[in-house]
Amino acid sequence: MGSYILRRLLLMIPTLFGIMAISFVVVQFAPGGPVERMIAQISGTEVSSMARITGSAEGDFAGQAQPSAASGDQPQNAYRGARGLSPHLVAQIERQFGFDRPPLERFFTMLWNYIRFDFGRSYYRDISVVDLIVEKMPVSISLGLWMTLISYGISIPLGIAKAVRDGSRFDVWTSGVIIIGYAIPGFLFAILLIVLFAGGSFWSIFPLRGLTSDNFASLPLHMQIVDYFWHLALPITAMAIGAFATTTLLTKNSFLDEIRKQYVTTARAKGLTENRILYRHVFRNAMLIIVAGFPGAFIGAFFGGSLLIETIFSLDGLGLLGFESVLNRDYPVVFATLYVFSLLGLVISLISDLTYMWIDPRIDFENREV
């Protein structure tokens, strides 16, 4: 076990290096950059992020900066938007963002800082990246944690009930409901909830903005809990409407596979009750793949979240932060979040594998190839 864990930990080093290297190279060829954006602000030719996405900026503003490799050894005329600005000012802007150094030097400096978990400061928010991530984390924790718990809380009992009643009317109509829920996009269901329950066209029952009310600090503890879940009710419902479909069907199929095995037939022949067979013998074996996948599912919900859900319900979380950072070319935030998410993903992958052994000690990792 120890050698397997060590091999997996050592394998994370080249994996992380490859992820960061590929992302860094891609960014060098991405249109615009922090230097071009600052020059556009100074020269008065900056356009909105959406205009940059659609490409209309190039036609509407002739002075908009062109794609560049963002390297410090570029001549001043490489920035078309810098026309009329002194070379000294352009050099100061490059030095401010660290683009006065060659790309290779910047890449390895970034890696060295990230190894020490020094992520620097945001280019445009005047705050450290760590503080910025911590500031947005409560929203992502709330969405990810409760969506995962609700999803598993519904999926496992429903999957067991469908397996026990396989082929019955209950199994058929619940499968139909699950498929319909899975097919409805979360953002579309979110809009429907707003129209119905958040002051859209019918009732104004639930709040539409933020994670808590403005007077949250002055409320007693029990009212703070109520207020917190009152704000989460609609976004969690919109996110979870189709989230439990995969886990439900996986639970059902896993239980069906176990129920059809020989040891279940033997247990029935010995006179054991169905409940004892189901929850003392089948449950442990059938839940192996479900429970072992819980860490990965939680991290996926925690960090993946839903950009559209956060935007629709005005929840300022990590998903919205990452999207805005990419649009604004806020490279410290972009690379720091990528590094942290990749590292956590690799660690959670290892934890998920080790969970198999914790649930079923018969699994041996010592002789398993990485």
Residue pLDDT, tens place only, 63-82: 333 333 334 444 444 555 55
CB-based contact 308:190 (threshold 8 Å): yes
Domain ranges of the chain: 31-118, 130-359
Question: What was the pLDDT predicted at 60?
Answer: 37
Nearest residue to 297 (alpha-carbon basis) of 95, 128, 144: 144
Domain 130-359 has CATH 1.10.3720.10: yes
Is the entire prediction scored with pTM above 0.75? Answer: no
**Residue 247 contacts residue 290 (beta carbons within 8 Å):** yes
Q: What is the mean pLDDT of the chain?
A: 78
Quick one: pLDDT at residue 57?
A: 35
Q: For residue 52, what is the DSSP state?
A: H
Percent of the chain with pLDDT over 90: 7
Quote the pLDDT of residue 174: 92
Average pLDDT over residues 118-123: 86
Tokens of 368: 């398993």
- Average pLDDT score over residue span 284-306: 70
Tell me the per-residue pLDDT of 28-62, one tens digit each, with 9 for 90 and over.
777 677 777 777 767 665 544 434 433 433 333 33
The helix (H) or strand (E) run that includes residue 154 is helix 129-164
